[in-house]
Structure 1
Amino acid sequence: MDPAIELRGRVVTLTGVRDPERDARELYEALDDDRVWRHVAGRPADIPALAGRLEDALVPGPSFPWIVRLATPYRGLPEGTVVGQTSYLDVSVPDARLEIGSTLYRHDVWASAVNPETKLLLLENAFDRLGAGRVQLKTDIRNERSQRAIDRLGARYEGVLRRYQRRAEGTVRDTVLFSIVAEEWPDVRRGLNERLRSASDR
C-alpha cells in the first residue's frame, strides 16, 4: 500500500510511515511506558532502533504499519499528537485476508474512543476498499484487557493457538485468536459506530 494513504476519523488519523526518523521520535515518546509493553515482545531499545524498524517496514511486503495521531485535541493532548501504532499483518491478496496487530497506544488514551475508531477505520479500509473476506486479530492469553477490547469490537472468538510464540522474557505464550468475516462486517460496523456516538455524547 501507498505510505501516503490517510484514514481520517473524528478522533484519530492513521497514516503510513512517511518520515521514519520523525515518526520514530514521536512514537518512542508515546510508547515509552512499561505498561504499554507488558504483553508485547520487541520493545525497541532506543529511537534509532525504532527508526530502523520503521525504515524496514517501508519495503513492500505482507505487512503495512500505521501511525495513529489525534485528528483533534483529545484528553488534554493537542491535535497531531502521536498516540500509537498498529499494522496490517500477513496480508494475503489471493486469499482476501489480513490481520490487524502490533497495536500499541500510549497509556492515557486507553479505554477511550481511540481504539474503537482506529479499528473502525482499519476494518472499513480492509473490507470496503481492499475487498477482504476475513480480518483476524490475536493477543496473548495473559492479556485479558486486550481480549475484552477485541471482543467488544464484535470479533468472533475462534480459539487458542497453543505454544504459539516466545515472550520477551523467554516463556512461551498461548495466543487467543479472533476474526471478523465479510458477512459479519455490516453488524460490526454498526456496533462500532454506535459505540463512537455514545462516546461522543459523554
Structure 2
Amino acid sequence: MTVIATEPPSAIAGQTVVLRPTTPEHVPMFLEILRHPEIVPWWGGYDLERVRRELLGPHGYAIELAGEVVGLILYREETDPDHRHAALDLALHPDQQGQGLGCDALRAMARFLFNGRGHHRVTIDPAAHNERAIRSCARAGFRPIGVMRRYERSADGGWHDCLLMDLISDDQP
C-alpha cells in the first residue's frame, strides 16, 4: 500500500535536476521563462499576478540545475478514488532545452506522484504541434493516447489541439 505524503518534500531529485517547491523568490525567473519569445506560444499570457496565483503553492516546483532555476513543473490531482490520477505541465528555459533536463524533471515528478502521492497514472498534454515537447515526453516514458481537438487557448486567442499522453506506474522507465 502506498502512503500518500501530506507535506510536499523539500526537494525531488532527478538524475541531473532537482525539483524544489516554488517560493516567491522563484517568481522573477518564472516570469523571465514564461515571457521568453520561444515559450510564449505555449504558455502565453503570464503576468506577475498570474504567476503568483497559479505557480506558487503546493503543486508547483522550480526545476534547478546546479542551483540555478531553469524551468518549472506543476502537477494537478484528480482525487476521486475511481479516477485518481495526476497531470503535469512543464516549461523549460530555451537555453536549457535539448539536454534531457525536461525528460529528467518529468521522470522525477512522475516517481514522486507514483510513490509519494499514490497515483497509478500521470498525464501530460503538450500542444499537438509542439514536436520538441512531445519528443521529451516520449523519452520520459509517456505514450500518446489521442488528440484533444481545440483543447487549449493559444497566445493569439485561438484554439489549438493537444496530444494527450500518459505514463502508467507499471511503465516507468
Question: Shorter-chain TM-score: what band?
Answer: 0.7 to 0.9
1:134-185 deviation digits (Å, cap 9, x = unpaired): 1111011121211122122221110111121321212111111111112212
Percent identical residues: 23
Give the equivalent residue in structure 2 for 1:26. Answer: 29
Larger radius of gyration: 1
User: Over residues 78-131 of structure 1, what are the superposed CA-to-partner deviations in whole Å (9 max), with x where a residue is unaligned?
Assistant: xx2110111002442623310111x11111110113112211210111112222
CA drift at 1:52: 4.4
Q: For 1:6-17, what aligned pairs fall within 5 Å after superposition?
A: 6-17=11-22
CA spacing shift, 1:168–1:38, aligned 2, 3 Å: closer
RMSD: 2.1
Counterpart of 1:96 (choices 80, 84, 88) is 84
Aligned to 1:136: 123
- From 21, 36, 39, the equivalent of 2:39 is 36
| Larger RCO of the pair (alpha carbons < 8 Å, separation 6+) | 2
Q: In the alignment, which residue of structure 2 is the partner of 1:109? A: 96
CA distance in 2, matches of 1:113, 1:149: 7
| Cα distance change of structure 1 residues 135 and 4 upon mapping to structure 2, 3 Å threshold | closer
How many residue pairs get aligned? The number is 167
5+ long unaligned stretches in structure 1:
73-79, 189-202
Deviations 1:27-50 (A, max 9, x none): 223444101222223332xx4553
- Asked if 1:51 is matched to 2:52, the reply is yes
Residues 52, 134 of structure 1: alpha-carbon distance in 2 compared, 3 angstrom cutoff: closer
**How far apart in 1 are the matches of 2:53 and 2:165?**
30
Which 5+ residue runs of structure 2 have no aligned equivalent? 1-5
Give the structure-2-normalised TM-score.
0.84
Secondary structure of the corresponding residue to residue 139 of structure 1: coil
Assess if the C-alpha contact under 8 Å between 1:6 and 1:13 holds in 2: yes
Partners of 1:156 and 1:91 in 2: how far apart? 20
Q: TM-score, normalised by structure 1?
A: 0.73
Aligned to 2:108: 121
CA offsets, 1:57-80, max 9 Å, x none?
43x7xxx1111112x2xxxxxxx2
